[in-house]
Structure 1
Amino acid sequence: MWRQTWDRLSLYLPVLLMGLLALGTWWLVRNAPTPLSPAAATAPGDEPDYTMRSFSVRHFDESGRLQSEVRGEEARHYPRTNTVEIDRVRMRSIGPDGRVTVATADRALSNADGSEVQLFGNAVVTRQPLPPRPGQTPQPVLEFRGEFLHAFTRAERVTSDRPVVLTRGADRFTADRLEYDHVAQVLQLQGRVQGVLQPGRAR
């Protein structure tokens, strides 16, 4: 039963975290304003060269369909490390099949191309199921929660050295640390690992 549960979870995690965070942060950096003058380039390395407040960045495909959106209270770009820090971040992604994935956190830190994204404080990633077709069993909501989540989008890895909670419908799993490698298809929950599997309901 445990092996079947982890197999199901492994199908959701890469799209849930990596695709969402890569799309959102990459487009945030690409659409951010450039410095107003050359003087900004000489700003101290630990100081941001530009900020955005109460912003929203959206990405559309060629047909005009919304693919992703990044909202935040404030974003700051640091030229020395070429990173973007976002307060009160909310990322929303819509897959080709219409499935919606939402990620929120108190703070996010991304490198320039979005290949490495860190979520700090009340990090929650939720993937909503599609409406079931006639005769199909409804799929549960999948939620990934922790105080810190670190996603490597190109390497397709997600890690956390802090307690995490995975829920899929009524099933719930907790662990002290997380190591997920989508390429190798390996999910490791370390430390104090606990899981509660609810019995299926009779039709």
Structure 2
Amino acid sequence: MQVNMAQVKLGTVRTILRLMPLLLMGGLTLLTFWLVQKNTPLPINVIERPRLHEPDYTIKNGALSYLNEQGQTKYRILGKELIHYDDDASIDIVRPRMRSFQPDKAPVTVRAQRGHIDGDLTILDLFDNVEIYRPPQSANETQKASPYMLAKSSYFQVLINDDIITTDKPVELEQGLSVMQSNDGGVFDNVKQSMQLLGTVKGRIEPAQQGTR
């Protein structure tokens, strides 16, 4: 019986020794496969695809409000449709209308056919039949009376943080009975509620009087 057990053990050892190369090769194969899988880029359908510039939601008759440091409304932007894009968080606006509010002054209204706000909500681009309208200003302790102001252009850019509206396109400016044009653009200062035309300016200037509109 002891002889048989010895023979069994000897046979087992021989079998293991014969299989050892196969076991080593199998282990190396598994290790190689694991390393290859670990260092192989994921297929395109597994990797997160880049977000496309496509709308992810639309708001009908929407509004955006910007507050000043005192928590009061500084700008309010309205639109027939506000179309938000997921890739850059920008917003397209159909028929935008912006109201800007300054203490002790009448609100200024800006209208256009199309608008676009960047993802940081700091730049508003306005296109097609854009108008900036400032109503007549009554005299008070800090300013004299002034007529209405209407600036027209095909494009204006609102720099919200800077309280500036600017364009490099031709501008027509009405102030009461005065009418002026510039092909080089202009800058509207929302704090002072005044328009500066750039380059060569043509038109007629009438005596100052507080017009109505």
Partner of 1:172: 179
Letter in 2 for 1:152: L
In the TM superposition, 1:57-96 aligns within 5 A as 57-58=64-65, 67-96=74-103
Q: 1:153, CA displacement in angstroms?
A: 3.8
Q: 2: CA distance between counterparts of 1:130 and 1:175?
A: 24
Letter in 1 for 2:205: L
1:66 to 1:80, Cα distance in 2 relative to 1, 3 A:
closer
Q: 2: CA distance between counterparts of 1:95 and 1:153?
A: 13
Q: 2: CA distance between counterparts of 1:58 and 1:157?
A: 17
Q: 2: CA distance between counterparts of 1:95 and 1:71?
A: 18
Partner of 2:201: 193
Letter in 1 for 2:206: Q
After TM superposition, the score normalised by the length of structure 1 is 0.61
1:98 to 1:194, Cα distance in 2 relative to 1, 3 A:
closer
In the TM superposition, 1:155-170 aligns within 5 A as 158-170=165-177
The alignment partner of 1:162 has SS state of: coil
Cα pair 2:85 2:91 within 8 Å, conserved: yes
Deviations 1:142-192 (A, max 9, x none): 22211111233445654423221122222221112215497xxxx5523x6
Cα pair 1:47 1:78 within 8 Å, conserved: yes
1:43 to 1:128, Cα distance in 2 relative to 1, 3 A:
farther
Q: 1: CA distance between counterparts of 2:72 and 2:188?
A: 30
1:43 to 1:90, Cα distance in 2 relative to 1, 3 A:
farther
Partner of 2:122: 115
The alignment partner of 1:146 has SS state of: strand
What is the CA RMSD across the aligned residues, in angstroms?
Answer: 3.5
Q: 1:53, CA displacement in angstroms?
A: 0.8
Q: 1:140, CA displacement in angstroms?
A: 0.8
Partner of 2:149: 142
The alignment partner of 1:74 has SS state of: strand
Which among 45, 64, 83 is matched to residue 52 of structure 2? Answer: 45
Q: 1:195, CA displacement in angstroms?
A: 2.3
**What residue ranges of structure 2 are gaps of 5+ in the alignment?**
1-47, 190-195
After TM superposition, the score normalised by the length of structure 2 is 0.59
Deviations 1:81-135 (A, max 9, x none): 321110011112332214211111101111133322211011111112343459x
1:132 to 1:161, Cα distance in 2 relative to 1, 3 A:
closer
Cα pair 2:137 2:147 within 8 Å, conserved: no
**What residue ranges of structure 1 are gaps of 5+ in the alignment?**
1-40
Q: 1:48, CA displacement in angstroms?
A: 1.1
Q: 1: CA distance between counterparts of 2:188 and 2:73?
A: 29
1:54 to 1:188, Cα distance in 2 relative to 1, 3 A:
closer
The alignment partner of 1:139 has SS state of: coil
1:66 to 1:110, Cα distance in 2 relative to 1, 3 A:
closer
Cα pair 1:43 1:49 within 8 Å, conserved: no
